[in-house]
Chains A and B, each alone.
Chain A
Amino acid sequence: MNSETGFDPALYERFPTREPRPPAELEELKQVWRAPRGWALLTVVNNNYIGLFYVGAAFLFFVLAGVLALLIRAQLALPLNGILPQETYNQVFTMHGTVMMFLFAVPAVEALGVMLLPQMLAARDLPFPRLSAYAFWAYLVGGLCFFASIFFGLAPDGGWFMYPPLTSRAYSPGINADFWLLGIGFIEISAIAGAVEIIVGVLKTRAPGMTLDKLPVFAWAMLVFAAMIVIGFPAVILGTLLLELERALNWPFFDPTRGGDPVLWQHLFWFFGHPEVYIIFLPAAGLMSMIVPTVARTPLVGYRLVVLALLATGFISFGVWSHHMFATGMPPISVSFFSAASMAVSVPAGVQVFSWIATLSAGKVRWTTPALFAIGSIVTFTMGGLTGVMVALVPFDWQAHDTYFIVAHLHYVLIGGMVFPLFAAFYYWAPMTSRRPLSERLGRWVFGLVFTGVHVSFLPMHLTGLMGMPRRVYTYLPGRGWELPNLISTVGAFMIGLGVLLFVVDLIRNFRFTTGDGAGNVYGGGSLEWLPTGLYSARSIPVVRERYPLWERPGLAEDVQEGRYFLPGAATGVRETLITSTLRAEPQYLQRMPGPSAWPVLAAVFTAGFFLLLTVQAYGPGVVSGVLAVACVLRWVWETDRPMREKHVDVGAGIRVPTYATGPASHGWWAMVVLLIVAGMIFLMAGFSYVFLWSRRPDLWIPPPDQLWLAAVVGGYAAAGALAWLAARAARRPVSHVFWAPALATLAVAALACAYAADLGSWWAAGLRPDASGQGATVFAILAWQGVMGAAASLMPGYLIARAVAGLLSPVRTSTVDLSALFIGYLAAQGSLGALLVRLFPGGG
């Protein structure tokens, strides 16, 4: 057999082991992984708890946004209705969309990832449990404060896509728009933190033998989902930063009178916004691909095609952003490319739908509640997909644009593609975390009400739209034929509400959270999450040889529970998980994992505080909150990269692995690389903004500073990169030279600072001002981004010196220095590329 890392796959034959396990081993494992109690539970990091908190919070926001939807429908039930005043209505529909998209849909699927992936991959936990905790608390605290803005009349009111110029200072003078722009900052951070966790988790913490062709489809879906967040979210992060800079500092990114262009916002927003639909849909499709085989009692038909469809959707979804902009006057040939891509993306979506239908057809379906929701999803999503192909046709889109037809289409896609699979998942996986399964009887009622309600509510909206009713109007005149379809839609909306209420009743009656004695595999699933688990996940980590191990090896659960596979206890006496290779999941090393801590919670609270205090223009407290957030993060990471007593340990059957790794084999390296890709995407989008604005008003652009300055800037950055590389080399020198690496890192940061000062100073001396033109705004935005990252880099030398003083740097434990050097090296490259772009393109005035 082939090997990826030099590991001999024949060693897998040693499992299951036959020797009895030491009697105290299981008890020690329980002790190591036990959760804190009482108020200390707030510091818990185990995925079982964080996953449940996360899912619960996402569901709370679903209910809150649903209540807003009912208010909208009540207002529109009759013409000239007076339930909501116009201004309030604007806030309500904006918050409905924003909360559903940012506070419910993305966090809900991320939450399910945190909850299910470790068990599905048979890992002890995801590789960065404190990062998961941070992501959750930042999301919860920030989300609740953001939502509360509606009670004070301060909620955003420019639609969930916040188009300028409506949201510019001139037309939205209050802080409502700022709540959106800064308020979702913490959600973006939370989503990216979760994405880092999921990518590294799926690639590096799989059970041995779980090669890519045996990876559960949900894990594939989450991998693509997280990669899409990494590529897509930076566009909206940059967009929100630019719009906030325009509003706060008068930098004219979107003001056409000074060389800006509001269409730039649409490009940035929709480069995120359309993939966002697939970011939501793909994990839900992954859930479907896990549930459908179980309810049909047969393996998924076309596993390889489904995986390819997930990957293809991930790629092609980034080529369709402008189909939201067909009405902006883009050149016909450009529109044609986007129209073609929009139709092409229906192919991989269709592959998945046909796979589910084929699986249901090939098996013997048990008509349980998850099965009903799965069928409901297929029907509803397919209907939404078909209207999606309709609006991909440009002439049709010009007619339907901004009408209720689009409202109907997007709700069919999102509810069919995400909400129904989510309810199926609630029913399907509840027995894993609850002592009792949810009620089948109530579940059927929930399905009946929600499914019927969705179609009663949204099917008539197609007609309302085709009859000309525009979106986002708070009322309408009688006599246009819109009264009846609107009334029917309102009735349907309240049916959905009743169904959700019944689901809450079901939860209250039956859901009893547990981490060790769940109701079990009541639906007969074949994947690893149905192994008996505790807070440590599975007792031992099995060797995976098939896609449905529990179906094909009936004795597996018992062997795992008896500790007959990898890592049957706590090999080093602390929390740990097995890190495996990315393709073949071969054991590489044992990762020490962090336990409960208050620092991620505090960091999250102060992060949310930073954004929200800035929103309400409390700048002083906002800055203090930001500094405290950084301090908490530093204190949190201080506890990482610690020495282990044993250099190698036995992880079962006499197989020994190292307890430490650095470089591309390590989980930390992968996390840093993913983080730098996020930074790189923000930079790339800033570069796009620069070129785009030049193409709008080149007459307003001034020549760059003398090119000698360019040589100085690039030379400074090159020196910084070289010094960072030397610092990483120096970290491997004997311990007597332990201060060399921090000293070289200090010099590298100093070189970064000099190059940055030369870059900034020369533009200023050349007469460019950020509020003067699109050129000034984008050049200074690129410099500002470099400056923010440089500020983070400036903390690193001090941190390295402190670790050297504390004796935490050594030639065999170089991860901290390696990752710092990687960051500084990246920053040097980004600074050079930025300088080259803005000084060589277009090159003259």
Chain B
Amino acid sequence: MARWLFLLGGMIVWLVHFLGAYGVASAADVITGQADAAGAVWGVGLLTLACAGADVALLALALPRARSAADGLDRFLAGGAALGAGLSLLAVVWQGLPVLTAK
């Protein structure tokens, strides 16, 4: 299970970011009547930074493993984890951008 989590780590970070951003905005909408209230914008911004950081950490962990892997499967898993973290980093930053346009 640990290896599956490692392979899918980037995707899981993206999932946490997406659900978190949607959840924060929805909660702000219900509580304050304004989905882009200042608290929500800051919340999503901080979540974006945290998730981007997690992706960078995953990349830092996976890339050396991919280079030093003993066999094809380990190389595949580490390389896949690195690629997933890279894609996730792109998606997380992209999805975090709307908070910059909020009023």
Contact = CB atoms under 8 A, between A and B. Distances in A.
A331 B29 contact: yes
Interface stretch (A150-158, A312-320, A797-805): A312-320
Contacts of B77: 212-213
A459 B24 CA distance: 41
B4 to A, nearest CB: 8
B91 A337 contact: no
A70 interface: no
A308 B87 CA distance: 9
Contacts of A340: 91, 94-95, 97-98
A341 B18 contact: yes
Interface in B1-57: 3, 7-8, 11-12, 14-15, 18-19, 21-22, 25-26, 29-30, 34-36, 40-41, 44
Given A304-B80, A341-B95, A315 B72 contact: no
A590 to B, nearest CB: 24
A583 B87 contact: no
Contacts of A316: 11, 14, 91
Contacts of A343: 94
A568 interface: no
Given A341-B18, A583-B3, A334 B26 contact: yes
B99 interface: yes
Nearest to A664: B1
Interface in A303-358: 304-305, 307-308, 311-312, 314-316, 318-319, 331-334, 336-337, 339-341, 343-344, 347-348
B36 A583 contact: no
A214 B99 CA distance: 42
A695 to B, nearest CB: 4
A212 B76 contact: yes
A308 B83 contact: yes
Interface string A639-653: 000000000000000
A211 B80 contact: no
B84 A695 contact: no
Contacts, number: 103
| Contact-residue size bin, chain A (C-beta under 8 Å from the other chain) | 20 to 34
A246 to B, nearest CB: 23
Contact of B84 (A308, A318, A334, A337): A308
A767 B41 CA distance: 40
Given A2-B74, A212-B77, A331-B35, A337 B90 contact: no
Most buried by B among A341, A347, A348: A341
Contacts of B74: 2
Given A2-B71, A212-B77, A333-B40, A312 B25 contact: no
A294 to B, nearest CB: 22
B101 A308 contact: no
A311 B76 contact: no
A336 B71 CA distance: 43
Contact of A213 (B14, B35, B73): B73
B65 interface: no
A580 to B, nearest CB: 13
A305 B83 contact: yes
Contacts of B19: 319
A1 interface: yes
A344 B91 contact: yes
B79 to A, nearest CB: 6
A532 B57 CA distance: 48
B60 interface: no
A563 B101 CA distance: 66
B79 A347 contact: no
Contacts of B14: 315-316, 319
A331 B28 CA distance: 10
Contacts of A347: 87, 90-91
B102 interface: yes
A315 B14 CA distance: 8
Contacts of B73: 2, 211-213, 583-584
A340 B25 CA distance: 15
A304 B76 contact: yes
Interface in A146-187: none
20 contacts: A2-B73, A213-B76, A214-B72, A314-B11, A315-B8, A315-B11, A315-B12, A315-B15, A332-B35, A332-B36, A333-B99, A333-B102, A334-B25, A336-B101, A337-B95, A341-B18, A344-B90, A344-B95, A347-B90, A583-B73
- Closest 7 CB pairs between A and B? A331-B35, A336-B98, A213-B76, A315-B11, A333-B36, A211-B73, A340-B95
